[in-house]
Amino acid sequence: MRCPYCGGYNRDDATFCKNCGRDMSMPPVPAPPRQQQPQPPQRSPYQPQQPQPPQRSSYPPQQRPSYPPPQPPRPVTPVQAPSYRQPAPTYQPPQQPPPRSPQPPQNGPGTYTPRQRVPAPPPAPPAPPPAPEPPAPFPPRTIEQLRALEQGALPYTLVREDISNGRKQVIRIAYSRCTGWQQVATLLKAFRERQSDKYETVVLQGVLEQEGNSVYNFTNGQLVFDRDVRLGSQILKRYQIETGNGYANDSVRIVLSE
């Protein structure tokens, strides 16, 4: 069967067109006839046009304004022009200023102020002498090398001595600034002179002379001696020595047992 709308081919028993989807059982509605529009009359190309007469305006004519009659000119009174010439100035001799009284010089613009001499800076303090060489290898590897350093010990001053819990002795000493091996030697000398056999732990802390309050417990070295340290089945004596304040880059830590 052929669709009456689009002209596509379908099966004989089909009700709707597979191309346009319209119902083929209903006949198509005929389109209304188009109305013909009237065409304007054609003018003959050979017929000339006749000129039309001009149309008159329906507005009333405008009236011209009336002007007053001209008046005769008035006589002009001549005015004398002012003279721009001025009399020549009279010559007057220049007046000399009165003499000024002498005034003390002031520090202002145009005055000379002598430059004061700046005192020379004080001479730099002499460089400290080089530190002496240690009498034994430093840092020491054995107890014998540690005891050999005691030869270079410096004089010290006792600052304080405390007892903690009856088993720990804390001693604080003060001495001048020195190198690391001299700090170890001074701490060993103070330990040998002030240690007691009745305390299990002895702590010696070194500080600088005339030193105020510091955030560190020690600033010139520290020695911690433990009398009975168990290492397996052995009972040893241990030395823990630190130089400086224990936190500086050049601080040295020594741990030896005997």
**Predicted local confidence at residue 196, as pLDDT:** 84
Residues in the chain, overall count: 258
| Angle value at C-alpha 113, between 107 and 103, nearest 5 degrees | 50
Residue 154 CA to residue 175 CA, distance in Å, equals 7
Does the model's pTM come out above 0.75?
no
Q: Would you place residue 126 in the very low, low, confident or very high pLDDT band (cuts 50, 70, 90)?
A: confident
Q: Is the pLDDT of residue 218 over 60?
A: yes
Break the chain into its structural domains and give their ranges.
Answer: 143-257
Dihedral sign computed on CA atoms, order 15, 19, 21, 27: negative
Say what the pLDDT of residue 173 is. Answer: 94
Q: Which residue has the higher pLDDT, 179 or 71?
A: 179
* Pairwise CA distance, residues 147 & 134, whole Å: 12
Is residue 10 scored above 90 in pLDDT? no
Mean predicted lDDT score pLDDT of the chain: 80
Work out the average pLDDT over 42-57.
62
122, two tokens: 């004080």
Q: What is the CA radius of gyration of the chain?
A: 65
pLDDT at position 215, please?
66
pLDDT score at 46: 57
Residue 142's φ and ψ, nearest 5 degrees, are -130, 170
Phi-psi region of 2 (alpha: psi -120 to 50; beta: other; left: phi over 0): beta
Shortest CA distance to 192 belongs to which of 159, 150, 230, 229?
150
Give the pLDDT mean for 115-124: 80
- Is residue 27 pLDDT above 80, yes or no? no
Of 133, 143, 227, nearest to 188 (Cα)?
143
Binned at pLDDT 50, 70 and 90, residue 157 comes out as very high
The percent of residues above 90 in pLDDT, for the chain, comes to 31
**pLDDT band, very low/low/confident/very high, at 65 (cuts 50, 70, 90):** confident
Q: Strand, coil or helix: what is 72?
A: coil
Report pLDDT for 255: 94
Question: Per mean pLDDT, which of 68-77, 100-109, 121-130, 145-154 is the most reliable?
Answer: 145-154
pLDDT single digits (tens) 173-209: 999 989 999 999 999 999 999 888 889 999 999 998 7
The pLDDT confidence band at residue 117, using thresholds 50, 70 and 90, is confident
pLDDT of residue 109: 58
Task: Give the mean pLDDT of 76-105.
Answer: 69
Whether the Cβ atoms of residue 231 and residue 257 lie closer than 8 Å to each other:
yes
pLDDT mean over 159-167 = 87
Determine the Cα–Cα distance for residues 7 and 24; give it in Å rounded to an integer. Answer: 11
pLDDT value for 206: 93
Dihedral pair phi/psi, residue 71, rounded to 5°: -100, 155
Cis bond before residue 30 (omega within 30° of 0): no
Q: How far apart are CA 44 and CA 49, in angstroms?
A: 10
CATH 3.10.310 for domain 143-257? yes
Residue 52: the pLDDT is 67
- The pLDDT confidence band at residue 54, using thresholds 50, 70 and 90, is low
